[in-house]
A and B are shown apart, each in its own frame.
Chain A
């Protein structure tokens, strides 16, 4: 068994009297995708905030490459190679692609005594990095991030993380706001990133998307890990039921079918 890149052991997090996470243990390996599944309010966001250094666990241990550590800040986590991409990807819609790609790490060149922002290098590097992920529609680094589609922004943010040497890529509901085709693009990029040896943590409540890219799955219910299994060990229906917190989904689906039958429609599967 290889050493996990990132390991949580028995992590608890409470905000004042409210317990948000209890007893979470996770192992994240290089070149694998861990899917974190859970309904709204299950604690997914808090968990990724712990992984990305925003929150510190109340109790429990975090290890990276087998060595215990505590992130001081998101910046600290980022420097250790943990990159987080949020649902809407680029957070600077009114900055150019080249500029936003290099925020905080701008390439400069010397002109006499002055250090000048190297727009050409920045734009070329950024465009090359996203094109490498298969987004060929982006060809001008001067364009504004806000002009990109949701999937392209995700791709740009992932390309940025990869470019700056991310070891762990945390994707927070990257496909939630996207159409079918754009989501497929992003899933492909996730597989590409995993193939290059990055550990991917993929947060979603879409079971189909999770099954497409996941190697390893963890289901959160009300702040606790309800299940932990590998690809192929559970069916889509089983996972859906788990996420919904038990057997209710089957009942609910039966009820919906009842309504459909009453309305004279062909029953449709509920996602």
Chain B
């Protein structure tokens, strides 16, 4: 059964000419192989946008200050886009990040600023809040089977209401000052070299962790399978419910981290910050080649998508164009990126069919 001779005998039966073809050479390292890498599309988009703003933005855009300007935006967005991307690969959306962020800002500011608790307590409280809302999202999605779009839309508003209501009750205000002592300030919310936010380094760390989880650990396989086909994933023995809840908790945690980081960086917190992160994170993830319906995506793609978004958002200020046009560019970019990513995904799929032709 397993010997080569019997294999050859059974193989030859229907059409020896086609099936006996020698193994095709590995196309991994070739240009064709690169073109079929799923994140190539988002890398090309990033390069095009960077070239565009380098040309129109000139030396200012290419200076350290120019880089800092978009890297700072990219880092905060990127820390949130990574877990949002994982969720999208698993077939879920999380809109509630938009109010977890200000809720966490207010938590650290109220606990440590207003009431003077040690900054560690404030930080832990704000992160715990993010984890708790994430757990609530995940548990509701798993238990009720209501689409996560609706569940997280509900928590988005509920958290916004609680944040506003409790802030007014506790502080009588919608904005609270916070002066974080060292080393918390220097580690979490400060500028390196006067320009670069420390969040850039946290982002790099998050990329390393999520890259490991998605592409090098078994959990990544579970996430891809969950997004590809939840029923088969469950039948294959993947703890689908726990995995879903864990992913929502990760996005809650990351949104809370950015909220807390902003409060420490700006020395104050507002109840209304963060709404822009909802759509921006989705744009970054989708531009990065993640399939909106789940089952497909890469960390490299999400990083490229985040950088592309940040460059367009900030680069416009270096060009002399009216900044209002940035949104139009982002809209066009989103559509172009999705079309291009579809093309590259199809090319990646067609790879196996090639020797047939």
Contact = CB atoms under 8 A, between A and B. Distances in A.
B349 A146 contact: yes
Interface in B143-181: none
Interface stretch (A14-22, A23-31, A102-110): A102-110
B26 A140 contact: yes
Interface string A114-132: 1111000000000000011
A108 B229 CA distance: 23
A134 B353 contact: no
5 contacts: A94-B345, A95-B221, A104-B222, A106-B221, A117-B216
A235 to B, nearest CB: 25
Given A114-B212, A192-B1, A137 B224 contact: no
A114 B23 CA distance: 34
Interface stretch (A35-43, A181-189, A251-259): A181-189
Given A74-B235, A132-B2, A92 B218 contact: no
Contact of B220 (A117, A147, A195): A117
A104 B236 contact: yes
A163 interface: no
A177 to B, nearest CB: 16
A192 B6 CA distance: 10
A136 B291 contact: no
A196 interface: yes
Scoring A103, A108, A148 by chain B CB atoms within 10 A of each residue's CB, the highest score goes to A103
B352 A91 contact: no
A142 B232 CA distance: 20
B227 to A, nearest CB: 9
Interface in A138-163: 138-140, 142-144, 146-149, 152
B11 interface: yes
B291 to A, nearest CB: 7
B209 to A, nearest CB: 11
B293 to A, nearest CB: 10
Given A95-B295, A144-B351, A103 B20 contact: no
A78 B356 contact: no
A165 interface: no
Contacts of B291: 94
Contacts of A146: 349
B57 to A, nearest CB: 37
Given A115-B217, A115-B218, A144-B349, A139 B19 contact: no
Given A92-B295, A142-B28, A147 B350 contact: yes
Nearest to B236: A104
The binding surface of chain B is classed by DSSP as helix
B235 to A, nearest CB: 4
A95 B225 contact: yes
Contacts of B221: 95, 99, 102-103, 106, 117
Given A102-B221, A140-B26, A181-B15, 4 more contacts: A78-B235, A132-B7, A136-B11, A147-B348
Interface of B: 1-2, 7, 10-11, 13-15, 19-21, 23-24, 26-28, 212, 215-218, 220-222, 224-225, 228-229, 232-238, 291, 295-296, 345, 348-353, 355-356
Interface of A: 73-75, 78, 91-95, 99-100, 102-106, 108, 114-117, 131-132, 134, 136-140, 142-144, 146-149, 152, 181, 184-185, 188, 192, 195-196
Given A132-B2, A139-B23, A143-B351, A105 B14 contact: no
Contacts of A148: 352-353
Contacts of B229: 91-92
Nearest to B218: A106
B295 to A, nearest CB: 5
Nearest to B23: A139
B217 A116 contact: yes
Given A94-B228, A95-B228, A147 B236 contact: no
Contacts of A116: 216-217
Nearest to A52: B235
B216 A139 contact: no
Nearest to B352: A147
Contact of B19 (A75, A134, A143): A134
B25 to A, nearest CB: 9
Contacts of A142: 28
A114 B213 CA distance: 11
A79 to B, nearest CB: 8
A2 B218 CA distance: 41
B237 A104 contact: yes
The 6 tightest CB contacts between A and B, nearest first, are A104-B236, A147-B352, A106-B218, A92-B228, A134-B11, A139-B23
Nearest to B27: A140
Contact of A134 (B7, B27, B224): B7
Given A91-B228, A134-B7, A147 B349 contact: yes
Scoring B11, B215, B234 by chain A CB atoms within 10 A of each residue's CB, the highest score goes to B11
A45 B215 CA distance: 36
Nearest to B238: A104
Contacts of B348: 144, 147
A145 B7 CA distance: 23
B225 A103 contact: yes
Scoring B225, B291, B352 by chain A CB atoms within 10 A of each residue's CB, the highest score goes to B352
A225 B342 CA distance: 47
A144 B348 CA distance: 7
A196 B233 contact: no
